[in-house]
């Protein structure tokens, strides 16, 4: 192949050889005294002509060398592209090569064609971005490629042209030269199973297994973050505490299985009745807690009453087919009372306690004016706890308590001597 390229671009060398041969013949004629070719008076231009021809020959030779190198480079590029195509086609991983300028797909192996559900003859119709579910995800990948030119182990959520369920891929991409163009080489690995397991573990960590609602820990953490945002936007918010009335009676009468049905129906009713940006969680036992976004105490009371009525109409059936009906009591607290998640939950629970004490199946709202009395009760409870609390029951103060504490070593020695004397006397 190299010899063929050399022969193709040899015109400069041939021309130089002809010029050299012509100059040599002319000089020989002059040496032999043959001056009938050109009169002596008319040969002044010959040296200049020869020099010009030699310069042209050198230029042609250099041009031929450059053409030869370009041709060899083109052949090498073609070989590399062919090798790359063979690697892509034989790779066990789905691989796509797309043009960086317009994102058009240039090459895709069979594994990629199967993965994305496209026809081999229609590959060039698609752009790589057509398969991304999230535009922000695609933009983040592009930004990283601009900075680093290579990205490894990047999670992408993709879809097929037919609109099937999205699935997760682990992508590795780098910028390459392909067919005299700048292209993106992307290799993929299906990690949908791994992502599903991660999602399952995450849900198990933040969800209640019975009702599938968020658990207490997630609720408190998320509400803490929501309150931080609400402080900047000056928006109101409220917390509802819901308790199933006489729930123990349901468990005792119809069994815990029926009690579980009650809790599941309560959770489903709460989720259906609320907005997507509200948070519903199982707080413990038969208690549920709700965060209402952009809702003051008045609006929260209306929502709570609507929930109370909806839940009072729920009917579940025991294993024996008996109808089981129940009611709920609801306590409400709002951002007018506090911007602390713990205080909001405690005050909502206090309002729930009042609802239970005043007949159940009702809604009670904790107002800012109730704070003074509530704080007084809180302080009294803490004082009672401190007075009636012994360090032996405190997990943070677990030092051993000895019966000899407060007695000096001399007293112990004197007592021991006295006891020993008594023993000796009795023996006598």
Cα distance between residue 363 and residue 302, in whole Å: 9
The pLDDT of residue 161 is above 90: no
The pLDDT of residue 229 is above 50: yes
Q: What is the pTM of this model?
A: 0.59
pLDDT at 43: 59
The pLDDT of residue 415 is above 70: no
The pLDDT of residue 299 is above 50: yes
Cα distance between residue 44 and residue 27, in whole Å: 14
- Among 220, 286, 350, 364, the active-site one is 286
Exposure string for 260-287, b = 16+ CB within 10 A, e = fewer: ebbbebbbebbeeebeeebbbbbbeebb
Least confident segment among 159-168, 272-281, 321-330: 159-168
- CB-count exposure of residue 356 (10 Å: 0-12, 13-18, 19+): middle
pLDDT above 90: percentage of residues in the chain: 50
Q: What is the mean pLDDT of residues 6-35?
A: 62
At 35, is the pLDDT very low, low, confident or very high (cuts 50, 70, 90)?
A: low
Instruction: Report the 10 Å Cβ neighbour count for 422.
Output: 10
- Are 289 and 221 in contact, with CB atoms under 8 Å apart? no
The pLDDT of residue 78 is above 60: yes
Answer yes or no: 286 catalytic: yes
Which H, E and C letters describe the chain, residue by residue? CHHHHHHHCCHHHHHHHHHHHHHHHHHHHHHCCCCCCCCHHHCCCHHHHHHHHHHHHHHHHHHHHHHHHHHHHHHHHHHHHHHHHHHHHHCCCCEEEEECCCCEEEEECHHHHHHHCCCHHHHHHCEHHHHECCHHHHHHHHHHHHHHCEEEEEEEEECCCCCCCCEEEEEEEEEEEECCEEEEEEEEEECHHHHHHHHHHHHHHHECCCCCCECHHHHHHHHHHHHHHHHHHCCCEEEEEEEECCHHHHHHHHCHHHHHHHHHHHHHHHHHHCCCCCEEEEEECCEEEEEEECCCHHHHHHHHHHHHHHHHCCEEECCCCCEEECCEEEEEEECCCCCCHHHHHHHHHHHHHHHHHCCCCCEEECCHHHHHHHHHHHHHHHHHHHHHCCHHHCCCCCCCCCCCCCCCHHHHHHHHHHHHHHHHHHHC
């Amino acid at each position: 192949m190299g010899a063929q390229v050399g022969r193709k671009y040899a015109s400069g060398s041939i021309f130089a050889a002809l010029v050299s041969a012509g100059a040599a013949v002319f000089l020989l004629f002059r040496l032999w005294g043959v001056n009938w070719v050109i009169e002596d008076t008319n040969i002044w231009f010959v040296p200049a002509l020869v020099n010009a021809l030699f310069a042209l020959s050198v230029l042609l030779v250099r041009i031929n060398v450059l053409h030869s190198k370009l041709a060899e480079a083109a052949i090498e590029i073609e070989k590399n592209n062919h090798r790359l195509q063979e690697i892509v086609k034989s790779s066990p991983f789905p691989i796509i090569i797309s043009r960086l300028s317009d994102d058009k797909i240039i090459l895709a192996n069979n594994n990629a064609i199967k993965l994305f559900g496209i026809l081999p003859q229609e590959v060039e119709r698609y752009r790589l971005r057509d398969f991304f579910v999230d535009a922000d995800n695609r933009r983040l990948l592009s930004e990283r490629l601009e900075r680093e030119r290579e990205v490894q182990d990047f999670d992408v959520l993709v879809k097929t042209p037919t609109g099937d369920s999205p699935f997760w891929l682990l992508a590795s991409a780098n910028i390459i030269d392909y067919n005299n163009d700048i292209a993106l080489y992307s290799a993929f690995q299906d990690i949908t199973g791994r992502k599903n397991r991660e999602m399952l573990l995450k849900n198990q960590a933040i969800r209640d297994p019975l009702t599938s609602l968020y658990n207490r820990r997630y609720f408190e953490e998320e509400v803490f973050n929501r309150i931080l945002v609400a402080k900047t936007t000056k928006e109101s918010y409220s917390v509802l505490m819901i308790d199933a009335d006489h729930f123990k009676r349901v468990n005792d009468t119809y069994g815990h299985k029926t009690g579980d049905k009650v809790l599941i129906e309560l959770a489903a009713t709460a989720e259906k009745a609320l907005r997507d940006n509200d948070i519903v969680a199982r707080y413990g036992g038969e208690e549920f807690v709700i965060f209402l976004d952009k809702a003051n105490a008045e609006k929260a009371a209306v929502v709570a009453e609507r929930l109370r009525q909806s839940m009072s109409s729920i009917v579940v059936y025991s294993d024996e087919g008996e109808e089981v009906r129940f009611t709920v009591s609801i306590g409400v607290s709002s951002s007018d009372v506090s911007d602390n998640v713990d205080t909001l939950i405690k005050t909502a629970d206090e309002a729930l306690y009042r609802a239970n004490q005043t007949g159940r199946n009702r809604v009670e709202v904790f107002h800012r004016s109730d704070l003074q009395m509530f704080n007084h009760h809180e302080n009294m409870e803490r004082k009672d706890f401190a007075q009636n609390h012994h360090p032996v029951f405190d997990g943070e103060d677990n030092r051993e308590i000895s019966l000899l504490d407060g007695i000096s070593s001399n007293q112990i020695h004197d007592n021991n001597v006295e006891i020993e004397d008594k023993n000796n006397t009795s023996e006598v």
